[in-house]
């Protein structure tokens, strides 16, 4: 016969497991409408789950000029293991800085994301070699993504593969 204490402890363990992250790809959008996805896979050294890939669309404001820069990036994991139902992600190299906080709840991933990137500015005539660069960024904003059914997490991902078209408006 199962005691109430045993049943209660089992129920707590099941509800705690439902809050923890699961391997797979979480896809959604940030507050500004840009697309975002995180692939969660297993760290081959520790066996813990970690971010193994990120796909991020950027809608940045650039200065000088105040124009909008739209671009997208595919990034590899940062090697940081996830703990409990939370984690962080940071990617930083010469062309892009991205940082995010992650909070898992069942098949939903929420958090914040912000980025900064430089871009070359075309001459106002629309032709010729760019002579200036602009600093483009988005302020910290919230995002929400859901676990995609049938996705198997990849253990490794490319470190910085550009995808999509860069558009300056």
In a domain, residue 2? The reply is no
> pLDDT tens-digit profile of 11-51?
443 334 455 679 999 999 999 999 999 999 999 999 999 99
| Domain housing 131 | 19-168
Domains in the chain, number: 1
Q: Return all residues near 66 (Cβ < 8 A) that are at least 6 apart.
A: none
φ/ψ of residue 11, rounded to 5? -65, -40
Contact 119, 168 (CB under 8 A): yes
CATH number at residue 127: 2.40.128
> pLDDT tens-digit profile of 63-108?
988 899 999 999 999 989 999 899 999 999 989 999 999 999 999 9
């Amino acid at each position: 016969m199962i005691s109430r204490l045993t049943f209660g402890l089992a129920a707590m363990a099941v509800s705690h497991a439902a809050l923890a992250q699961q391997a797979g790809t979480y896809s959604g959008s940030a507050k500004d409408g840009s697309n975002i996805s995180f692939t969660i896979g297993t760290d081959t050294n520790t066996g813990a789950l970690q971010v193994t890939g990120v796909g991020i669309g950027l809608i940045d404001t650039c200065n000088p000029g105040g124009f909008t820069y739209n671009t997208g990036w595919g990034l590899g994991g940062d090697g940081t293991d996830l703990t409990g139902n939370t984690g962080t992600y940071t990617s930083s190299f010469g062309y892009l800085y991205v940082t995010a906080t992650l909070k898992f709840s069942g098949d939903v991933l929420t958090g914040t994301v912000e980025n900064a990137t430089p871009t070359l500015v075309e001459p106002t005539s629309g032709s010729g070699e760019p002579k200036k660069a602009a600093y483009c960024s988005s302020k910290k904003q919230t995002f929400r993504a859901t676990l995609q059914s049938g996705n198997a997490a990849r253990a490794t991902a490319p470190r910085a593969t550009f995808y999509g078209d860069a558009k300056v408006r």
